[in-house]
């Protein structure tokens, strides 16, 4: 009895914990994926791989700022769009402190697409900054720490290659596990217009857009490809001409992988619980046999068959749910403690934040109920079909 309850406790505990940590991992991974941006597509010019309209293959495609306007006008499904160019090896100075820092030039819409959210009492670059080519700068979390330490950054002026820039914002801390050219916390952003004026570059490193609706993503992607194919005269079927990083499609795949992962964990936990179920069935079988005489007495006193059935099934359910309740209590405790520890950094960011979802609870209760019912049903049916005289004679 104690052993079976223990098995039930362990089974329930493992199913809930496995699913909780799996769910937590998925949640954190998704959050970290969204550190790059949610539902965005990142585009850059590459090389044609097919000849088209008399033009040879191996031609490089260079995107320029005008393409942003062009796509915005031609493709109605685009919600936000921004160019991005990056320059490495700048010297950033504040007072006595100097660091080597890369700088990106972007549009204000970059904030929402790439989750460059400002911390308290600061802001991202805005439309006026862009229009007036202001020398303003938005710092990544790490950059701010390097230059200003714990001190105030916003409102102060830093020098970039001896050109003064006013800090207007600092990035709010975020999780990020997918990136290009390094994490966002080590970036410094200035208006694209200012960037172009200072560095005198024409070409974009990336072009980033977000469709109005995720369901439109595929259509928008095709249209973007078509518009650019016409402008740059390449075959719309040439997959090499543009390099596209579609985070929307990536997330779909990611979600599928995790569903598979959760199913796997659920089955593992479920099997453990099933083993416990065999224990319950055994207990009920022994118990029903030992109480044959009791069944006989009750029948002699007028118990109907369904009463006997109900008695044993409900007892098995009681055992199953008692073990289950203790198991759930334990797993809740472990989850609470793990969350209270609030481990940060490295793998802990992903592994130490378990989440118990309603689905997990419903699944666990369902399996426990099924176990109790089946484990009780068979011994109960045997007991209920006894002949009262024989049951009374049973020793």
Residues that bind another protein (CB under 8 A): 293-294, 297-305, 307, 387-389, 392
| Both structure tokens of 124 | 């991202």
Cβ closest to another protein, residue 128 vs residue 318: 318
Give the integer Cα–Cα distance in Å for 157 and 163. 10
Cβ at position 392, least distance to another protein in Å: 7
Cβ at position 295, least distance to another protein in Å: 11
Cβ closest to another protein, residue 46 vs residue 294: 294
Cβ closest to another protein, residue 294 vs residue 349: 294
Q: Any idea what DSSP says for residue 346?
A: T
Angstrom distances, CA of residue 268 to CA of 11, 121, 157, 259: 9, 49, 58, 14
Residues near 271 by beta carbon (within 8 Å), at least 6 away in sequence: none
Longest distance between any two alpha carbons in the chain, whole Å: 105
Cβ closest to another protein, residue 278 vs residue 389: 389
The angle subtended at Cα 52 by Cα 51 and Cα 53, nearest 5°, is 135
Concatenated DSSP letters of 70-139: HHHHH-TTEEEEEEEEEEEEEEEEETTEEEEEEEEEE-TTHHHHTT--B-TT-----HHHHHTT--EEEE
Q: Return the residue matching tokens 């749910």.
A: 321
Q: Are 114 and 37 in contact (CB under 8 A)?
A: yes
Q: Any idea what DSSP says for residue 172?
A: P
Phi, psi of 349 (to 5 degrees): -55, -35
Cβ closest to another protein, residue 149 vs residue 302: 302
Cβ at position 23, least distance to another protein in Å: 44
Cβ at position 380, least distance to another protein in Å: 15
Cβ closest to another protein, residue 42 vs residue 380: 380
Cβ closest to another protein, residue 183 vs residue 388: 388
Cβ at position 388, least distance to another protein in Å: 5
CA 315, 320, 323, 326: dihedral to nearest 10 degrees? -100
Cβ closest to another protein, residue 244 vs residue 392: 392
Cβ closest to another protein, residue 39 vs residue 388: 388
Concatenated DSSP letters of 198-255: HH---B-SEEEEEESSGGGHHHHHHHHHHHHHHHHT--TT-TTSEEEEEHHHHHHHHH
Instruction: Say if residue 254 is exposed, middle or buried (CB neighbours under 10 Å; 0-12, 13-18, 19+).
Output: middle
Cβ at position 332, least distance to another protein in Å: 34
Residues near 89 by beta carbon (within 8 Å), at least 6 away in sequence: 100, 102
Cβ closest to another protein, residue 259 vs residue 318: 318
What kind and span of H or E run contains 190?
Answer: strand 188-191
Cβ at position 13, least distance to another protein in Å: 31
Cβ at position 391, least distance to another protein in Å: 10
Cβ at position 272, least distance to another protein in Å: 33
Cβ at position 305, least distance to another protein in Å: 6
């Amino acid at each position: 009895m104690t052993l079976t309850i223990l098995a039930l406790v362990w089974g329930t505990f493992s199913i809930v914990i496995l699913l909780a940590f799996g769910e937590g991992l998925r949640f954190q991974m998704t959050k970290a994926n969204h550190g790059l941006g949610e539902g965005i597509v990142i585009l850059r010019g590459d090389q044609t791989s097919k000849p088209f309209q008399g033009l040879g293959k191996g031609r490089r495609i260079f995107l320029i700022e005008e393409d942003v306007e062009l796509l915005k006008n031609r493709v109605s499904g685009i919600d936000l769009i921004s160019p991005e160019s990056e320059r490495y090896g700048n010297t950033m100075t504040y007072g006595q402190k100097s660091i080597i820092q890369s700088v990106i030039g972007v549009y204000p819409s970059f904030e929402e697409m790439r989750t460059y959210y400002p911390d308290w009492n600061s802001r991202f670059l805005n439309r006026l900054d862009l229009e007036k080519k202001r020398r303003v700068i938005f710092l990544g979390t790490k950059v701010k720490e390097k230059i200003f330490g714990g001190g105030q950054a916003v409102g102060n002026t830093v020098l970039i290659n001896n050109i003064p820039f006013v800090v207007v914002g600092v990035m709010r801390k975020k999780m990020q596990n997918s990136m290009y050219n390094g994490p966002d916390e080590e970036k410094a952003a200035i208006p694209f217009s200012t960037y172009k004026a200072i560095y005198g570059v024409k070409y974009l490193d990336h072009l980033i857009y977000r469709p109005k609706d995720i369901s439109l993503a595929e259509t928008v992607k095709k249209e973007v490809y078509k518009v650019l194919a016409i402008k740059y005269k390449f075959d719309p079927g040439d997959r090499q001409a543009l390099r596209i990083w579609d985070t929307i499609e990536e997330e779909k795949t990611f979600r599928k992988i995790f569903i598979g992962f959760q199913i796997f964990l659920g089955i593992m936990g479920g099997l453990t619980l099933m083993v416990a179920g065999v224990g319950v069935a055994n207990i009920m079988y022994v118990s029903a046999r030992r109480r044959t005489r009791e069944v006989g007495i009750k029948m002699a006193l007028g118990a109907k068959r369904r009463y006997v059935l109900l008695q044993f099934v409900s007892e098995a359910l009681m055992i199953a749910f008692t073990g289950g309740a203790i198991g759930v209590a334990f797993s809740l405790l472990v989850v609470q403690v793990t969350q209270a520890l609030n481990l940060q950094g490295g793998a802990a960011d992903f592994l130490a934040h378990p989440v118990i979802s309603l689905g997990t609870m419903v699944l666990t209760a369902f399996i426990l109920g099924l176990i109790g019912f089946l484990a009780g049903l068979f011994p109960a049916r045997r007991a209920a079909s006894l002949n009262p005289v024989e049951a009374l004679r049973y020793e």
